[in-house]
Chain A
């Protein structure tokens, strides 16, 4: 299928897109946090992937290769975007308010808090958490995507998890 796409077969492009769209879509949304912007990024990712497909040498899994493009594209997008960081409390209200307003649906409250806390992590921490827990990738695959050794990935993941734990500590009551 990849070879056919490399030869310019449109049907092969379609199949590749359908095969890899969903994991890339979830990754982009996890990093960008806005599905409207994520749609533009997804288009850029697949456009660049298909344009560069001729240079793909099968040295890694194609999905890993596209993940890497997506990762770079997300970083570029976030670098260009200059939206001020809004504190979690400004969105969810104070901790007491959260407890009162969402106590009726604790499951939704847990999800909302978890998502917001992860999305507020610095990008480097967020991306390792997304690749590890959302995309379920190995350290080796993560190292290829992030462009750093597996040991660095492990250290970065440790820091990210410790930070996540620290930020979730105030919400223990609802988690």
Chain B
């Protein structure tokens, strides 16, 4: 059997049904006369085709009639469960359809809640590992008191959130802490606060001249040679303008 045989054999049934052109039929008949293998196969196929047509007239043996729409509505709940456990919805057919939509919506909701839960757990774990947690916006405004740099001297509250311009950034080798000098007005060196970052990992360190918002604990450093207001430790820095 070659490619031509394979191609022409696909035309056998349409030929038997008179569904091919006379020219194609001629070519096919010529091939059947020339190719003994295809001739034998065609004889078998013709018998099979007749049996198939007979089966088409007889049809399958059906012991019962198909259910009416009302029966379908009543029984549709059984088909919902893929595990084969019959489940009755007790409602109408449309009710069953909408129920499946409701199940999908519930599933989506559960997925969203799981994501939120996972996210909040991540923050908790972050804290448990001793790293500074990034407070959410809601938490920032609830727990951190807004405070201008000029008001630090009279402040009694902590934690605070303050805004200013970065005047200086340096690393204190002795304390192993990153220091940021924050001023209220960019051109003036005072008033200022020193922002101390004990662990800068995971935090964006601003460049000099940047406008930033700093979250942390307000303190007063009374050590000799110091005597200034601090935000120590800094828990978060928002970069407002580079």
Contact = CB atoms under 8 A, between A and B. Distances in A.
B94 A115 contact: no
B197 to A, nearest CB: 55
A164 B13 CA distance: 14
* Interface magnitude class on chain A: 35 or more
B107 to A, nearest CB: 15
B15 to A, nearest CB: 11
Interface string B3-30: 0001001111100000000000000000
Given A40-B79, A51-B97, A118 B59 contact: no
Interface stretch (A61-69, A88-96, A97-105, A153-161): A153-161
Interface residues of B, number: 41
Contacts of B58: 111, 114-115
Contacts of A44: 79
B59 A134 contact: yes
Contacts, number: 124
A133 B53 contact: yes
29 contacts: A10-B93, A14-B69, A17-B72, A18-B69, A26-B62, A30-B59, A30-B60, A35-B64, A36-B63, A39-B66, A42-B72, A43-B67, A43-B79, A50-B97, A51-B97, A115-B60, A115-B61, A118-B55, A132-B52, A134-B56, A151-B10, A155-B6, A158-B13, A161-B48, A162-B41, A164-B51, A165-B45, A165-B48, A166-B44
Interface of A: 8, 10, 13-14, 17-18, 21-22, 25-26, 29-30, 33, 35-36, 38-40, 42-44, 46-47, 50-51, 80, 110-111, 114-115, 117-119, 129-130, 132-134, 136, 151, 154-155, 157-158, 160-166, 168, 175
